[in-house]
Amino acid sequence: MRKYSINRKTKETEIKVDLDLDGNGKSKIETGIGFLDHMIEQLAKHSMFDISIKAQGDLHIDYHHTTEDSALALGEALTKSLGDRKGIKRFGQALSAMDETLSRVVVDCSNRPYLVWNVNLTKPKLGEMDTELFKEWFQAFAQSSGITLHVENLYGENNHHIIESCFKGLARALREAVEIDLKRKGEIPSTKGTL
């Protein structure tokens, strides 16, 4: 059963996440940040993960803590769901197009967290969300999930399309990376023997 539930509580946020890697792409996302909810719904739909997030945060200050902590909690749920990572394909990649935009996302479920973020946005906000927070979300997610994550917008003009293509690309790359490889027969996908 590749599932995990987590409750993360700090002085700034309280977040509950339920994740099922072998789901059907169902989601119930309530962060209080409309655009972020929309992006995580895209992540669930295209990864085929079932994701539920209920977050209460200090949105009266700004959206930073809720954005970052929701990614930390979801990433922790991912790494716990993967366990020792036996039998997974480990690597995944996706080219993600949305109208005039094309982005590339590559994932290595290596247990060595790292983010490369080559995404330039030209607007300060999408909806009510500061666009600088998207890098924070991807950074926190990579860190707590133990993945190496490369996100690159190859071209595009519309900032909404650019960010959505990044989330959809992450979804498809993760779907590939966490898939069980029938040739591995329960082996760790590393010459080290551990991840």
pLDDT along the chain (195 residues), means of 10: 96 98 98 97 98 97 97 98 96 98 98 98 94 98 98 98 98 98 89 88
8 A C-beta contact, residue 26 and residue 46:
no
Q: How many CB atoms lie within 10 A of CB 27?
A: 18
Selection from 89, 91, 80 nearest residue 144 by Cα: 80
In whole angstroms, give the CA distance from residue 105 to residue 169: 5
Angle between helices 64-82 and 132-145 (to 10 degrees): 30
The structure tokens listed for 180 are: 């069980």
8 A C-beta contact, residue 32 and residue 59:
yes
Please give the domain boundaries of the chain with CATH numbers for all domains. 3-178 (3.30.230.40)
pLDDT at 121: 97
Taking CA 177 as the corner, what is the angle to CA 144 and CA 2, rounded to the nearest 5 degrees?
Answer: 65
pLDDT at 184: 84
8 A C-beta contact, residue 67 and residue 53:
no
8 A C-beta contact, residue 19 and residue 95:
no
pLDDT at 185: 80
In whole angstroms, give the CA distance from residue 73 to residue 58: 16
